[in-house]
A and B are shown apart, each in its own frame.
Chain A
Amino acid sequence: MLVYVLRRLMIAVPVMVAISLGAFLLMNAMPGDPVDRWLASGGNTLKSSPAALQSEKQRIRSQLGLDLPLFYVSLASWAHPDTLYKVTNAKKRIWMGRLLENSGNWAAVERFGHAAWAYAEGVQHSEQGEYLKKRLSRIVQISDLSEMRQHLDSLYGKASNGCLLSTDLCTHQVIFLEAFDNLASGSQWKTWIPWVHFHRENRYHRWLFGDGNWWTGKGGTHSKGLLRGDWGWSIRTREPVGSRLMGRIGWSVFFTLLGIVLALAISLPLGAWMARKANRSFDRWTGALVLLLYSIPVFVAAVALLMLFANPDYFSWFPVAFFDSDRLPPQASTWDKLLALLPHLVLPLVTYIYGAFAFLSRTIRIAVIEVLPANFIQTARAKGLSEPRILFRHALRNALLPVVTILAHVLPAALGGSVLIESIFSIPGMGREMVMAVGYRDYPVVIAIVTLSGLFSIIGYLLADLTYAWADPRIRLSKTSA
């Protein structure tokens, strides 16, 4: 048994690492600039002067770890510097990257690129006419070298006396032409040689271990690291992700557990009874009804329930919005709070139950049908036990084993997975948080939820397998022979 547990654990750890790694690497590629979203989420705290805004952006960038490379290893070409990721503007980064692909000389690309980009931005804010602006700022859209040469030639004229368009262009003439000459004479072949870069400091490392000493955690300024319980910052709410999720997880667990328990209370007797009446009209009709229920999408059922029972046109029995303890008078007792909470629970619970109940009763029916022909049932019958007693005491007990496995699979899935129900009934749980995080592209929260739900699933599966191995000796026995 111990060997079995250890073996399972040894498999679970790499899977967990793979999930967190995959989630981290993928979600960091979310479109858009996280710094802009961070600034936008704060409302009216925008800095007045451009310089102040720049330094604020820089601060956020380092707080979120965006000034670091993504991972320990990166594959690039020989010409590729390991500093391109530091170009923060995505458009500029892509443009400079393409220039580099065509030239191969990073120093020249860097010099030319920064100068041209700054110049083109300056032109946009200047008093020039629209046509001129368009022409002058085209520099930063060209990545083909011969096209760029033509464009520069046409700007400056064949002889270098062409400062006719704007005096500002003249001051940039030297740097443009010189840097471009270097750029064009670069060693393009270098871009065809693979080069592996290693980064000791990177985002993944910081996410896992924090930016201090990786073992003791001392000396960190921005993050303590996941291993010390720090999940990073939420971009949408500017809160630590960990504490934000801590407040959400309770509702999800509450609803899932209560829903499953209630669903089991209905589906155990129903499933067993359906199995006893297998292929007779009771079984057929209930089976059809259950399949019908199972096929109604959860969100359709939820909206329909709200329309019917939380609508002044029909039955205004239950509230639409979820429970908000702030609405109650401050002197309200716990009992009052519970009483006020109750009507908010009914519709969500009904939705939770019906989906799980349909699935569970079908599973239980099949499991009991498999058990019923067994010898010990015949024995029980021969002893003269009553039929319900045989069914519920003997058959159901032995049929519970697959149900245990399914429960262990259902629980972790529901923990992160009741996304739709939570969104519809505005229950402040993990699923709703996930939807809001995805809507805002709040990637630290998405990474945390994906990793957490993976962790819970793996623990759940582990428990299920252990229960199974503990209950069914064949598994342990056949393991040694395999």
Chain B
Amino acid sequence: MTARPSSTLANQSPWRLRRKYFLRASSARWALIILAVFFFTGWLAPWLANDQPWYIQLNGEHYYPAFSTQKVYTTPEGEVLRLAETDWKRLKFESVIWAPIPYAPGKTDRWNGYLNAPYKGPFDAQYFQHPAAGKQALSWRFRHWLGTGRNGEDVLSGVIHGTRSSMGIALGAMLMATLVGLLLGSLAGFYGDNRFRWSRGILLGVALGAFGGFFLVFGRKAWHWSSAEAMENETNWGWGLLSFLLLLILGGVFGKASEKLGRWWIAPVRLPLDASMLRLLEVFHAVPHFVLVIALAALIVTPNWWSLVLVLGITSWTNIARLVRAELFRVRELDYLEAARSLGLSNGQLLWRHALPNAISPSIVAIAFGVGSIILLESGLSFLGIGLPPDQVSWGQLIRSGQNDFSAWWLVVFPGLALLFTVLAFNWIGEAMRDAFDPRTLPGSKRVTETTEEEVIQDIQS
């Protein structure tokens, strides 16, 4: 039997070490727990908090309304139950299992809110109207644990469903920002201003392809982009993007073929990727992030999850791009990369397999902080009323509704706490990662660079 290799420093990969150092911080462990709770709450929100029961038995038949995609039920007596509209708590069932929080977000409970007595606090007496016996105290099973809004909307249910929108939008937007940031940052950092060369033929082909694609998507249907409504309703963005990419590739292929034509077509042209990316970065960086986001949000006719992901994603990539670029500037000068190049690896392989894995750790830290800040941005937008539409609950919106009546503190405190803990958890994770990724904390590894000041200088230089 062979002995398992003992875990000496020599056979521990840097990532394993980093994970170890990361988990050593108690704040990071807490943050992971908090985030797991929030993540699963958001994921399971439609089943955790729903006014449709999990299970009902009605006239001998079994139904599972909360899990079913069937929207309309007909009982044997011919009574029609519409999932969205039915007031399930008025119905008589033979047996029933309610969701843990038996309220849907944003739905009116007219006995614990509404015109006669808006806003019930978590500690206030709550009532329901019994068909026969009249006004009665609400049993604990149907209590609004975190109070209600003006029209009796359950706050706990709102917070749970708000988790879903906040987490979903923030993670989606961060994914998009990461992809864009990594792409632009690594192109700029790895190739710099001098290393990216295309032959004249390819350059012309791609430029022509881009022109053609632009013409197909926008030019030919110029009336589409006369207004945002037209762009949203008329333009088929999927096909547009696809045909654009197709033409681009086609242009590249023809360009490559044109290199056979002669000397002139082969002559390489230098593309200043780094300088152009930096200018773009500066444009995005100069307008304050929140101002940029609300300006772009004004362009959207009917806001939804996807539009918010788009708006937040295309404005949040700058940090990641900047960090990846700075790291690649350092990494690409290292000897091992030179060695890999001398082995004849292509630029793509060098970048993807060798340079990027060693340049990515600062941007992973930035991603953790970034998700937190995107959550803040999203709830800020909803708070101002330009985020999600009113029929989709989010934390910011709940807090906004608390602004109408200052005595309803529960409308601010509970969503505010949820927001606070999520952001705090992401910040903790970011901090712990930063410490764990710091080369100074890795025993046995030499510090490769001097501290951040060097990078600052580098940044100002460029």
Contact = CB atoms under 8 A, between A and B. Distances in A.
Contacts of B212: 194
Determine which residue in B223, B283, B412 has the highest number of CB atoms from chain A within 10 A of its CB, and name it.
B223
A142 to B, nearest CB: 15
Given A299-B399, A478-B461, A446 B298 contact: yes
A300 B419 contact: yes
B407 A311 contact: yes
A478 B454 CA distance: 11
B221 A97 contact: yes
Contacts of B295: 23, 26-27, 434, 438, 446, 449-450
Contacts of B448: none
Contacts of A125: none
B87 interface: no
Given A94-B234, A295-B420, A419-B384, A77 B291 contact: no
Interface string B209-251: 0011011001111111111111110100000000000000000
A43 interface: no
Contacts of B376: 297
Nearest to B287: A454
A423 interface: yes
A241 to B, nearest CB: 15
A416 interface: yes
A90 B224 CA distance: 10
Interface in A382-431: 402, 405, 412-413, 416-417, 419-420, 423-424, 431
Nearest to B27: A288
Nearest to A70: B226
A417 B427 CA distance: 22
A93 interface: yes
B456 interface: yes
Contacts of A245: none
A419 B226 contact: no
B220 A101 contact: yes
A294 interface: yes
Contacts of B431: 291
A19 interface: yes
Given A76-B220, A77-B219, A457-B287, A304 B384 contact: no
Contact of A420 (B380, B385, B406): B380
Interface in B286-325: 286-292, 294-299, 301
Contacts of B291: 416-417, 419, 431, 434, 449-450, 453
A306 B400 CA distance: 13
Given A304-B412, A454-B286, A294 B427 contact: yes
Nearest to A195: B219
Contacts of B413: 304
A305 B452 CA distance: 38
B85 to A, nearest CB: 28
B287 A94 contact: no
Contacts of A291: 424, 427-428, 431
A368 interface: no
Contact of A31 (B229, B383, B451): B229
B279 interface: yes
B35 interface: no
B402 interface: yes
A434 B231 CA distance: 24
A457 B226 contact: no
A31 B227 contact: yes
A93 B223 contact: yes
B294 A435 contact: yes
B460 A469 contact: yes
Contacts of B219: 75-77, 194
B148 to A, nearest CB: 17
Nearest to B451: A370
A159 interface: no
Contact of B279 (A18, A450, A458, A475): A18
A31 B456 contact: no
B294 A434 contact: yes
A469 B380 CA distance: 37
Contacts of B297: 438
Contact of B221 (A101, A194, A450): A101
Contacts of A18: 279, 283
Contacts of B285: 457
Contact of B407 (A96, A192, A313, A472): A313
B59 interface: no
A439 interface: yes
Contacts of B39: none
Contact of A15 (B286, B288, B298): B286
B441 interface: no
Given A26-B299, A296-B420, A297-B380, A457 B286 contact: yes
B403 interface: yes
A203 to B, nearest CB: 12
B365 interface: no
A405 B456 contact: yes
A23 to B, nearest CB: 7
B51 to A, nearest CB: 28
A19 B286 contact: yes
B412 A303 contact: yes
A29 B231 contact: yes
Contact of B298 (A19, A30, A192): A30
A14 B287 contact: no
Given A194-B215, A458-B286, A439 B385 contact: yes
A19 B283 contact: yes
B423 A295 contact: yes
Contacts of A23: 287, 295
Contacts of B294: 419, 434-435, 438
A478 B380 CA distance: 42
Contact of A297 (B223, B229, B379): B379
Interface in A441-464: 441, 443, 446, 449-450, 453-454, 457-458, 461
Given A31-B301, A76-B219, A101-B221, A413 B379 contact: no
A468 B459 CA distance: 12
B416 interface: yes
8 contacts: A75-B215, A77-B219, A90-B229, A191-B220, A291-B424, A434-B294, A449-B295, A474-B457
Interface of A: 11, 14-15, 18-19, 22-23, 26-27, 29-32, 74-77, 80, 84-85, 90, 93-94, 96-98, 101, 191-192, 194, 291-292, 294-297, 299-300, 303-304, 306-307, 310-311, 313, 320, 370, 402, 405, 412-413, 416-417, 419-420, 423-424, 431, 434-435, 438-439, 441, 443, 446, 449-450, 453-454, 457-458, 461, 465, 468-469, 472, 474-475, 478-479, 482
